[in-house]
């Protein structure tokens, strides 16, 4: 029994097969790091810009895609891929560079989807026009790092834009025929369960097609790590995470695809919670918790 609308289910339904992701680093930067919006970056962001496993792809997309394919070749013989520009803000920078990289990636015969991670405040007219062009070739996904709907938390994490900017980004992207995925973080300091559930409900009603639910990781070399070490907040236990995650799933409408239930932080940088480094145990615990508590997506929306 499917307890939630998973990415695998969506892919089989839409493409008739499972697609594997190839994470690419196009060498973009981020306005929240270079001083345009902010200079320290989001409080939880390591220097890798959330792209710890990404293949460097600035000069030669084909080689990067081939290298990425090698990583999953055994699992995906003859299969197709999602070219995922993961690191930093991939719609920030010279439009010619975006055009070159995105066209190369989407034109690769083994690529079925182009997926682009970015910020909602980096979707100007030129970018939207490019996305519309690309959309004519193959499906285009855009991933938006919202994390929370609460201004108090958004200020704490130094997100650098307000909620209406996200709303407008989703509206523009949907109008352009782009598939939208929204990232949210569970476990931000000071957020109560109700605040977390409000964010899940909001994303569920926003028009976003998919959601990535992510546990707050405390990573080395971040300002979040300083606050954690100063005892300003505690990381979630596995039991707390399972309860909050389940609460979010039950508050999401059945038609929003859940692309992720936790996250893959770089283990070598992980400070807390350490249990999240044992992926197998986390996945087994999730399955057990969902079964024991009869967690079903949309249950609380009925």
Q: Collect all residues with Cβ–Cβ distance below 8 Å to 84 and sequence separation of at least 6.
A: 21, 22, 23, 24, 115, 117
User: Which residues in 249-269 are b (16+ Cβ under 10 Å) and which e?
Assistant: bbbbeeebbbbbbbbebbeeb
Quick note: the x/- pattern for ligand SF4 over 172-211, rule CB under 6 A, is: ----------------------------------------
Contact between 120 and ligand SF4 (CB under 6 A)?
no
Cβ atoms of 252 and 6 within 8 Å: the answer is no
Contact between 26 and ligand SF4 (CB under 6 A)?
no
Cβ atoms of 242 and 190 within 8 Å: the answer is no
Which listed residue (26, 120, 145, 265) binds ligand SF4 by CB under 6 A? 145
User: Which tokens is 172 given?
Assistant: 């523009």
Measured from the CB atom, is 118 or 276 closer to ligand SF4?
118
Q: How far apart are CA 45 and CA 265, in angstroms?
A: 11
Look-up: residue for tokens 């405390």? 218
Contact between 88 and ligand SF4 (CB under 6 A)?
yes
Contact between 7 and ligand SF4 (CB under 6 A)?
no
User: Which residues in 46-63 are b (16+ Cβ under 10 Å) and which e?
Assistant: bebbbbbebbebeeebee
Q: Provide the minimum distance between the beta carbon of 110 and ligand SF4 in the complex, in angstroms, as a whole number.
A: 27
Measured from the CB atom, is 45 or 65 closer to ligand SF4?
45
- Residues 245-284 close enough to bind ligand SF4 by CB under 6 A: none
Other CB atoms within 10 A of residue 136 CB: 8
Which listed residue (11, 23, 50, 295) binds ligand SF4 by CB under 6 A? 50
Q: 48: closest CA among 68, 20, 25?
A: 25
How many residues touch ligand SF4 under the rule CB under 6 A: the total is: 12
Contact between 148 and ligand SF4 (CB under 6 A)?
no
Which listed residue (5, 23, 26, 32) binds ligand SF4 by CB under 6 A? 32
Q: Provide the minimum distance between the beta carbon of 44 and ligand SF4 in the complex, in angstroms, as a whole number.
A: 7
Cβ atoms of 224 and 254 within 8 Å: the answer is no
Measured from the CB atom, is 49 or 273 closer to ligand SF4?
49
Beta bridge partners of 84: 23, 115
Between helix 61-72 and helix 95-107 the angle, nearest 10°, is: 50
Contact between 41 and ligand SF4 (CB under 6 A)?
yes
Cβ atoms of 87 and 50 within 8 Å: the answer is yes
Piece of 40-48, 77-85, 168-176, 178-186 that binds ligand SF4 (CB under 6 A) = 40-48
Contact between 49 and ligand SF4 (CB under 6 A)?
yes
Measured from the CB atom, is 43 or 296 closer to ligand SF4?
43
Q: How far apart are CA 276 and CA 282, in angstroms?
A: 7
Which listed residue (7, 11, 19, 45) binds ligand SF4 by CB under 6 A? 45
User: Which tokens is 143 given?
Assistant: 């991933």
Which listed residue (119, 150, 217, 251) binds ligand SF4 by CB under 6 A? 119
Contact between 212 and ligand SF4 (CB under 6 A)?
no
Which listed residue (30, 57, 61, 83) binds ligand SF4 by CB under 6 A? 30
Which value, in Å, is the radius of gyration of the alpha carbons in the chain?
18
Chain residues that interact with ligand SF4, rule: CB under 6 A: 30, 32-33, 41-42, 45, 49-50, 88-89, 119, 145
């Amino acid at each position: 029994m499917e307890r939630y609308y998973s990415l695998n289910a969506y892919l089989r339904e839409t493409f008739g097969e499972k697609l594997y992701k190839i994470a690419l680093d196009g060498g973009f930067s981020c306005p929240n790091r270079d001083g345009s919006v902010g200079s320290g970056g989001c409080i939880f962001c390591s220097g890798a810009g959330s792209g710890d496993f990404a293949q460097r792809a600035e000069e030669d997309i084909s080689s990067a895609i081939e290298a990425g394919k090698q990583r999953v070749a055994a699992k995906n013989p003859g299969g197709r891929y999602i070219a995922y520009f993961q690191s930093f803000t991939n719609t920030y920078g010279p439009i010619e560079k975006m055009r070159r990289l995105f066209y190369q990636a989407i034109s690769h015969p083994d690529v079925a989807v182009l997926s682009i991670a970015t910020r909602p405040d980096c979707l100007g007219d030129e970018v939207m026009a490019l996305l519309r062009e690309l959309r004519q070739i193959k499906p285009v996904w855009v991933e938006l790092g919202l994390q929370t709907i609460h201004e108090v938390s958004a200020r704490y994490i130094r997100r650098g834009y307000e909620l209406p900017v996200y709303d407008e980004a989703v509206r523009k992207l949907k109008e352009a025929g782009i598939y939208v995925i929204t990232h949210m973080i569970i476990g931000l300091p000071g957020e109560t369960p109700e605040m977390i559930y409000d964010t899940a409900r909001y994303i569920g009603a926003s028009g976003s097609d998919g959601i990535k639910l992510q546990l707050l990781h405390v990573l080395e070399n971040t300002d979040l790590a300083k606050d954690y070490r100063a005892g300003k907040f505690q990381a979630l236990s596995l039991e707390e995470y399972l309860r909050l995650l389940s609460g979010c799933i039950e508050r999401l409408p059945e038609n929003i695809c859940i692309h992720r239930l936790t996250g893959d932080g770089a283990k070598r940088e992980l400070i807390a919670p350490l249990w999240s480094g044992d992926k197998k145990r986390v996945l087994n615990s999730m399955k057990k918790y969902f079964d024991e508590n009869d967690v079903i997506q949309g249950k609380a929306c009925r």
